[in-house]
Structure formats: C-alpha cells, structure tokens
C-alpha cells in the first residue's frame, strides 16, 4: 500500500527540481507504470512511490510541489 502523505512530504522536502518520474523497468514510457524518485543528499535517486500510471504520478508531484498563497 502506498502512503501518499509520506510520499508527498518527501517530494515537498526535496523540492520540484529534485523530483523525477521514470517508467518502471520493462514498461512503456507513455502508458506503462511509473515511479516517482527524489534526489537524496548523496546525489542518488531514491524511489518514493512505484507502480503508478503516469498521470497519477504527475498528479502527485504537481500537488506536492504547488504552493497556494492565500491573502
């Protein structure tokens, strides 16, 4: 099971410039399953969420990196 709150927190902490969405091994780039990775302090990419359709992965990253300013 995917913990979206934990994944969102990791994406927010990394920042939009250190997040990427990549296809799972053996999956097509457009309609295959993807994973969200964040860059660690050591410079390696760590998977945060796996086995998601690309649109779902993009939605999670967008929601985690968007800032809403109220005022």
pLDDT by 10-residue block (mean), the chain, 71 residues:
84 93 93 95 94 93 78 54
- Predicted pLDDT at 3: 83
- Predicted pLDDT at 42: 93
What is the number of alpha carbons within 13 Å of residue 67 lying toward its C-beta? Answer: 6
Whether 11 contacts 60, CB under 8 Å:
yes
Whether 48 contacts 36, CB under 8 Å:
yes
Q: Can you give the pTM of this predicted structure?
A: 0.86
């Amino acid at each position: 099971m995917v913990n979206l709150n934990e994944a969102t927190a990791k994406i927010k902490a990394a920042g939009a410039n250190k997040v990427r969405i990549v296809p799972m091994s053996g999956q097509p780039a457009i309609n295959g399953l993807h994973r969200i990775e964040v860059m660690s302090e050591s410079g390696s990419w760590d998977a945060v969420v796996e086995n998601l359709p690309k649109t779902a992965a993009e939605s999670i990253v967008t929601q985690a990196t968007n800032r809403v300013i109220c005022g």
